[in-house]
């Protein structure tokens, strides 16, 4: 297993508890990547498919709730806010989708809005309250899966970089690491946006997103606040593919494909404020003015937050797939599996997709077709050409 983000730690746990001998290699630390830098929403886009993912992930998080790593799993109603009539039509349509997926979602009166969130601007076009949503602390939840994997016998090797794979005649023999070559019957690559470094041609690109953290608010936030400006999974387009040379030459490739106000209160009394999604070249730190953009957008919606202190800011690198859904399962190279490309929905989807992957590796079938890596036209020969 390569990568100790939510994708690697959930898969390590699922495989170890089935009796596989698991060694997980991570070159930095547990949850060092996006898995330790996100808002921890288990419904990160307001879509029926995401409700299904949340429902499947929730019992798996609950399994670990009593374990050694607390991760603040909590029910958190969402306030879906529309600034203008266009957004309001979108919210109404989403509210209907949520209701048909079984989640209560009703309009909020102006009086209720003003007493619950007096910091909100007064002239919003409307808002709906969505119940039955869940949130957690992402870094801690990833650690909880890592510890559960260790408890089931998995060996975690931190600070160890996995290098090229050893492939002979289309079959994987193992991989080369900082600690020397390792032979393995199977390797699962869960390396987030670095997945193509190991699996040549894998259709995973990078989407950078920024967050700000407030200091103590001094008041209770009754709802997670979501401005309904985030595009659908399949509409994310530009962020779901690497930028083109002409776009880089034009100098604006790193402008956000999506930007919206999301405000998630934390049990400790502060809040996480975001967020953006922009194509990234992975190594250059693009769009360093994003904290300012996020702050401006947030202030426009929540003028009452002007004096709230902001104590930290950071970015995370989302592993984007072309259709916004993860890649889960075997590749054309025998013994090589991927668990990646979870994009903006890793916390909500990885516990479930890891279970599907482990069931398939255990001989119990194949992961759901919508996640199959074979749905993309990947040049697996490129990988074979790198055989030793």
Ligand X SMILES: Cc1cc2nc3c(=O)[nH]c(=O)nc-3n(C[C@H](O)[C@H](O)[C@H](O)COP(=O)(O)OP(=O)(O)OC[C@H]3O[C@@H](n4cnc5c(N)ncnc54)[C@H](O)[C@@H]3O)c2cc1C
- Per-residue contact track with ligand X, 189 to 208, x per CB under 6 A? -xxx-x---x----------
And the tokens for 312?
A: 């930290």
Q: Based on the shown chain and the rule CB under 6 A, indicate whether residue 34 belongs to the binding site for ligand X.
A: yes
List, in order, residues 6 or more apart from 346 with CB less than 8 Å away.
5, 6, 7, 34, 35, 38, 318, 319, 326
Site for ligand X in 39-68 (CB under 6 A): 39-41, 44
As a whole number of angstroms, the distance between CA 109 and CA 294 comes to 27
Q: Which whole-number Å values give the CA distances from 198 to 146, 295, 383, 387, in the listed order? A: 22, 37, 9, 12
Q: Based on the shown chain and the rule CB under 6 A, indicate whether residue 33 belongs to the binding site for ligand X.
A: yes
Residue 113 or 345: the one with the smaller Cβ distance to ligand X is 345
Site for ligand X in 212-271 (CB under 6 A): none
- Per-residue contact track with ligand X, 147 to 176, x per CB under 6 A? --------------xx--------------
Burial zone of 77 (CB within 10 Å; 0-12 exposed, 13-18 middle, 19+ buried)? middle
Q: Are strands 271-280 and 205-214 parallel, antiparallel or unpaired?
A: antiparallel
Minimum Å distance from CB 85 to ligand X? 27
Q: Based on the shown chain and the rule CB under 6 A, indicate whether residue 344 belongs to the binding site for ligand X.
A: yes
Q: Based on the shown chain and the rule CB under 6 A, indicate whether residue 347 belongs to the binding site for ligand X.
A: yes
Q: Based on the shown chain and the rule CB under 6 A, indicate whether residue 351 belongs to the binding site for ligand X.
A: no
**Binding residue for ligand X, selected from 38, 166, 206, 214, defined by CB under 6 A:** 38
Residue 158 or 374: the one with the smaller Cβ distance to ligand X is 158
Residue 39 or 205: the one with the smaller Cβ distance to ligand X is 39
Minimum Å distance from CB 109 to ligand X? 28
Q: Which whole-number Å values give the CA distances from 385 to 16, 33, 173, 334, 378, in the listed order? A: 32, 29, 15, 15, 14
Asked whether the CA dihedral 77, 237, 97, 100 is positive or negative, the reply is negative
Q: Reduce the DSSP state of residue 179 to 3 states and report it.
A: coil
Binding site for ligand X (CB under 6 A): 2-8, 25-28, 32-35, 37-41, 44, 161-162, 190-192, 194, 198, 209, 211, 274-275, 316, 318-319, 340, 342-348
């Amino acid at each position: 297993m390569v990568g100790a983000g939510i994708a690697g730690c959930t898969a390590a746990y699922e495989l170890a508890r089935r009796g596989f001998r698991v060694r997980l290699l991570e070159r930095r630390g547990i949850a060092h990547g996006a898995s330790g830098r996100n808002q921890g929403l288990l419904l990160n886009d307001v879509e029926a498919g995401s409700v299904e993912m949340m429902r499947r992930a929730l019992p798996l998080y609950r399994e670990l709730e009593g374990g050694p790593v607390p991760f603040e799993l909590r029910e958190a109603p969402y306030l879906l806010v529309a600034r203008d009539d266009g957004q309001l039509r979108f919210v109404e349509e989403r509210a209907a989708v949520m209701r048909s997926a079984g989640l209560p979602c009703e309009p909020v009166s102006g009086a209720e809005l003003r007493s619950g969130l007096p910091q909100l601007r007064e002239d919003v076009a409307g808002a709906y309250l969505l119940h039955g949503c869940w949130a957690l602390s992402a870094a801690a939840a990833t650690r909880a899966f890592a510890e559960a994997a260790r408890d089931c016998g998995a060996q975690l090797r931190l600070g160890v970089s996995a290098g090229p794979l050893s492939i002979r005649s289309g079959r994987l023999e193992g991989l080369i690491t900082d600690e020397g070559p390792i032979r393995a019957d199977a390797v699962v690559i869960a390396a987030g946006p670095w997945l193509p470094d190991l699996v040549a041609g894998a259709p995973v690109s990078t989407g950078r997103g920024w967050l700000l953290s407030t200091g103590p608010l001094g008041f209770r936030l009754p709802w997670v606040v979501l401005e309904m400006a985030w595009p659908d999974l399949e509409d994310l387009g530009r962020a779901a593919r690497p930028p083109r040379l002409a776009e880089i030459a034009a100098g604006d490739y790193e402008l956000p494909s999506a930007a919206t106000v999301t405000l998630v209160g934390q049990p400790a009394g502060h809040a996480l404020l975001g967020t953006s999604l922009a194509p990234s070249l992975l190594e250059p730190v693009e769009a360093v003015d994003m904290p300012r953009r996020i702050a401006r957008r947030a202030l426009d919606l929540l003028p009452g937050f002007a004096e709230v202190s902001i104590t930290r800011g950071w970015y995370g690198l989302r592993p984007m797939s072309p259709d916004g859904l993860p890649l889960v399962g075997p590749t054309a190279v025998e013994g090589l599996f991927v668990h990646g490309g979870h994009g903006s929905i890793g916390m909500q989807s990885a516990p479930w997709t890891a279970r599907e992957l482990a069931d398939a590796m255990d001989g119990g079938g194949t992961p759901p077709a919508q996640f199959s890596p074979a749905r993309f036209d990947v040049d697996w020969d490129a990988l074979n050409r790198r055989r030793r």
